[in-house]
């Protein structure tokens, strides 16, 4: 049987965990004097526990003559609640996530606070790299002449570019609503054949690895070239990327040329005499 009583085990466990934790842990009284600190903080600051005991937190941690505006201990004294903040500590040269919890006496009054500061420098670097990547991606998307819409495999909008909203004449409030059904209804309301559009989408989502290229027609006469390709993450299809390009003018010219050719052919075929055409290389074309 364990010879230590319950209270003794609690004390030993606390002291052991307190000092082996890699996080910086310290306890303050209401006047922001450091009552005690763990070995990690002692090592990080490079001072002895005796020097830390009784020192002001804002001087030891921030080298300031008064508490900074973001001081979580001050917030605890105001509302008695736990607080967490991400703080850059200059002389410790890094970002820390600081969580402070109130310490209460038997009457429920605040007697101080316990602070746990975790170094998040690596996480911040990762976050900054991610933000840079997202910014680069956003810049690339918004510089593309095609309208781009990215949809997850669940059918929700992941992202879109400015050209997409411009091509589809999507109002800012529809985009801001982040409601995928509202966006789809707005898109379908502009098309000549909305059923064909939704059927095509359903077919592609049944075949997540497939690609598609076709034209879609609007009630106002516009024509878009539509390309759909799978969106992959770690080798698995996770949705689709849709690309839209306004080819209305191109299709009008193409249609005009086809109609002109048909008229010319009809005219020739209805002439009484045999007529033929030879190009500049003296090659017979038709007749």
pLDDT of residue 270: 65
> Within a domain: residue 21?
yes
Average pLDDT, the chain: 82
H helical segments located in the chain: 6-20, 39-45, 49-52, 57-62, 72-79, 121-143, 162-167, 172-177, 180-188, 194-206, 248-269
Here the CATH number for the domain that contains residue 221 is 3.30.450.20
Residues 96 and 185 in one domain: no
Residue 173: inside a domain: yes
Q: How far apart are CA 130 and CA 63, in angstroms?
A: 32
Phi first, then psi, for residue 222 (nearest 5°) are: -70, 155
Q: What is the pLDDT of residues 164-202, one digit of tens each?
A: 989 999 887 787 776 778 888 888 889 989 898 888 888
Q: Please give the model's pTM, rounded to 2 decimal places.
A: 0.51
Question: Do 113 and 175 sit in the same domain of this protein?
Answer: no
275, 264 Cβ separation under 8 angstroms: no
Contacts (Cβ under 8 Å, ≥6 apart) of 193: 217
Does residue 277 fall inside a structural domain? Answer: no
217 and 156 housed in the same domain: yes
Enumerate the β-bridge partners of residue 83. Answer: 100
Number of independent structural domains in the chain: 2
Residues 139 and 226 placed together within one structural domain of the fold: yes
pLDDT in tens, 211-250: 889 999 999 999 999 999 998 877 888 888 999 999 999 9
Residue 273 lies in a domain: no
Per residue in 37-51, pLDDT (tens digit) is 888 888 888 888 888
Is residue 269 included in any domain, yes or no? no
pLDDT digits over 242-270, tens only? 999 999 999 888 877 777 677 766 666 66
Dihedrals φ, ψ of 209, to 5°?
-90, -5
| Residue 198 belongs to domain spanning | 134-249
What would the mean pLDDT of 5-28 be, rounded to a whole number?
70
**Within a domain: residue 278?**
no
Residue 111 and residue 138 in one domain: no
Q: Which strands sit side by side in the sheet containing 147-152, from one edge to the other?
A: 157-160, 147-152, 236-246, 223-233, 212-217
Q: 218-224 contacts: CB < 8 A, separation 24 or more?
A: 218/190, 218/191, 218/192, 219/190, 219/191, 219/192, 220/190, 221/248, 222/246, 222/248, 223/247, 223/248, 223/251, 224/167
78 — pLDDT class (breaks 50, 70, 90): very high
Q: Are residues 97 and 203 in the same domain?
A: no
In a domain, residue 19? The reply is: yes
């Amino acid at each position: 049987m364990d010879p230590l009583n319950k209270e003794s085990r609690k004390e030993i466990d606390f002291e052991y965990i307190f000092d082996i934790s890699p996080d910086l842990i310290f306890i303050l009284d209401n006047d922001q004097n450091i009552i005690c600190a763990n070995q990690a903080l002692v090592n990080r600051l490079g001072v002895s526990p005796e020097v830390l005991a009784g020192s002001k937190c804002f001087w030891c941690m921030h080298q300031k003559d008064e508490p900074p505006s973001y001081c979580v201990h001050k917030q605890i004294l105001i509302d008695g609640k736990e607080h967490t903040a991400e703080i850059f500590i200059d002389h410790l040269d890094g970002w820390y996530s600081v969580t402070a919890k109130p310490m209460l006496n038997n009457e429920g009054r605040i007697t101080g606070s316990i602070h746990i500061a975790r170094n998040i420098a690596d996480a911040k670097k990762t976050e900054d790299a991610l933000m840079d990547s997202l910014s680069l991606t956003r810049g690339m998307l918004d510089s593309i002449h095609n309208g781009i819409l990215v949809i997850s495999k669940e059918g929700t909008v992941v992202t879109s570019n400015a050209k997409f909203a411009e091509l589809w004449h999507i109002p800012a409030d529809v985009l801001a609503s982040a409601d995928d059904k509202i966006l789809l209804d707005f898109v379908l309301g502009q098309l000549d054949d909305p059923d064909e559009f939704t059927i095509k989408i359903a077919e592609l989502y049944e075949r997540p690895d497939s690609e598609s290229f076709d034209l879609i027609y609007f009630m106002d006469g516009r024509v878009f070239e539509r390309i759909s390709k799978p969106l992959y993450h770690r080798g698995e299809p996770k949705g689709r990327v849709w690309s839209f390009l306004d080819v209305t003018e191109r299709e009008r010219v193409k249609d005009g040329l086809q109609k002109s050719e048909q008229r010319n052919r009809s005219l020739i075929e209805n002439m009484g005499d045999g007529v033929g055409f030879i190009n500049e290389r003296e090659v017979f074309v038709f007749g």
